[in-house]
Chain A
Amino acid sequence: LGCDADQLLGQYVAARDAGDTDAARAAWYQLVALSLPRVEGLVRATSHKHLSAEEQNDAISHALEKLLTNMFRTFRGTSMGEFHNSAKRLVYGVCVDTQRRAKTISKHTAPLHATGDNGEFTDGFTPSVNKAAAREHDARDADERDADNIADLAAVFDQALATMTPANRSVMELQRDGLTTDEICEKLNMSPEAVYQNTSRGTKAILKFAEAQNA
């Protein structure tokens, strides 16, 4: 299993564009494997009120299957941001499907989504989850995914930075670069508590920005 996601994506794109399906698949499988912790985390964070632990594991398994097959067939992107955004939408769609399959709505506090009179996804979880799940649902039959108009958090990150305070912005930039709290403290001359506070506020600012984009 390779450990550099960017490198694996580059290998996938090169093989895909050269028509070398076997090589593309080999790189893709590794890329999906590296995404397992993220997929697992997204499923658990998104569905914590709606799916049991067992159902969450089913959702993770289904999401992995779809990432390996459907998304391999349809992904046209060339960047990790596009990869994460497509994967996110697929994961949210799978969570909704899992809940439907398990028919556990009555056992849990609220459905992941609800539909209005015209079948649109109207409420439930965050607007971005509902919109992503709805789009995944709509795209499934056509087996295609066009250019995405869901606010892609990775893509709007830079724009969202502009809405943050300087301290929030500095911390979030370093968090995205993968620095540890100790390293951020040293670089910005901040206490760990201040790093944590700025991280939380920065995360909220990104979410708020993305939801404004979605609206």
Chain B
Amino acid sequence: MTPIEQLLGEFLDEWNAGARPDVNAYLDRAEPADRSELAEQLATWLEIAPTPAYDDATLAEIAADPRLTAAIAKADLLNTPLAKRIPTLREQAGLAVRDVAARLTDAFSLPDAERTEQYVTQLEAGELDERRLSQRLLDRLASILGVEADALAPQPATAGQAFFRADEDADRAAMASMQTLSEAAFAPAPDASLDELDRLFCGGPGA
């Protein structure tokens, strides 16, 4: 029996026993020349492995894992409207509304920092329509707040809703889409006198 076979077998035993074997520890035990092959076999196993029946202590350990709790906190934040998300992210970044406004003013070469601050305040108060915010604005805001652009994406849709499911009440879904398009078609055109700042926060041509 080769050392790789021995290590793979031990790993599988630990995995199936619900003991959360550490891949790095196993790779460290292998000879350097064997590590790639062992890693490949471990990855193959992990793709097909059954989910073990973890005991209560292991389940509690998994639930308390800081990487998981942090990821859940972020995911929960993404499920809130931007009006709640932006102040939270802003506070996490240690910035005041005025700071954010000043950086936006600078980034877009806007003429009036005070008006920018009013818009940011309105945005955080939920007084603006999130759907009309310019993508350029959201990208820049994400950069200012030190988060990935995804963090300011619109609220996630319902589970699995990103795809059209023709077998599930397709007529109703199509009618709803038609209604939305119809409303958009008959909506008044944006005021041509909007300036750059208005376009960033309220949409319009070239937003």
* Cβ contact within 8 Å between A38 and B40: no
Collect the chain A residues with CB atoms within 8 Å of residue B52's CB. Answer: 178
Nearest residue (CB) in A for B23 is A44
* Cβ contact within 8 Å between B47 and A196: no
Chain B: residues with Cβ within 8 Å of the partner, total of 62
* Cβ contact within 8 Å between B39 and A16: no
* Cβ contact within 8 Å between A181 and B24: no
- Distance A41 CA – B62 CA, assembled complex (angstroms): 14
Q: Does B136 contact A (CB under 8 A)?
A: no
* Cβ contact within 8 Å between B5 and A196: yes
The digit string for B5-44, where 1 denotes a CB below 8 A from any CB of A, is: 1101110110111001111100100000001100111111
Collect the chain A residues with CB atoms within 8 Å of residue B94's CB. Answer: none
* Cβ contact within 8 Å between A144 and B162: yes
- Shortest B164–chain A CB gap in Å is 11
Q: Does A133 contact B (CB under 8 A)?
A: no
Collect the chain A residues with CB atoms within 8 Å of residue B65's CB. Answer: 36
Q: Does A114 contact B (CB under 8 A)?
A: no
Collect the chain A residues with CB atoms within 8 Å of residue B163's CB. Answer: 74, 76, 144
Most central of B50, B52, B53, B59 by chain A CB within 10 Å: B50
Chain A: residues with Cβ within 8 Å of the partner, total of 74
- Distance A36 CA – B70 CA, assembled complex (angstroms): 13
Query: A73-B162, A74-B163 are contacts. A178–B8 as well, Cβ < 8 Å?
Result: no
Q: Does A154 contact B (CB under 8 A)?
A: yes
Collect the chain A residues with CB atoms within 8 Å of residue B15's CB. Answer: 37
Query: A64-B68, A181-B9 are contacts. A204–B41 as well, Cβ < 8 Å?
Result: yes
- Shortest B17–chain A CB gap in Å is 6
The digit string for A32-46, where 1 denotes a CB below 8 A from any CB of B, is: 111111101110111
- Distance A180 CA – B16 CA, assembled complex (angstroms): 6
The digit string for B150-169, where 1 denotes a CB below 8 A from any CB of A, is: 10000011111111010010
* Cβ contact within 8 Å between A178 and B23: no
* Cβ contact within 8 Å between B4 and A40: no
Q: Does A121 contact B (CB under 8 A)?
A: no
Among B129-167, those with CB < 8 Å from A are 150, 156-163, 165
- Shortest B19–chain A CB gap in Å is 9
Q: Does B63 contact A (CB under 8 A)?
A: yes
CB within 8 A of A29: which of B40, B72, B157? B72
* Cβ contact within 8 Å between A176 and B35: no
- Shortest B181–chain A CB gap in Å is 20
Q: A41-B43, A73-B162, A76-B165 are in contact. List 5 more A-B contacts (CB 8 A).
A: A69-B74, A178-B16, A180-B16, A196-B8, A207-B41
20 CB-based A-B contacts, threshold 8 Å: A16-B160, A25-B159, A36-B68, A40-B23, A45-B23, A45-B43, A48-B23, A49-B36, A56-B24, A61-B70, A68-B75, A69-B78, A74-B163, A76-B163, A80-B51, A88-B47, A178-B53, A181-B13, A196-B10, A200-B8
3 nearest CB pairs, A to B: A196-B9, A64-B71, A44-B23
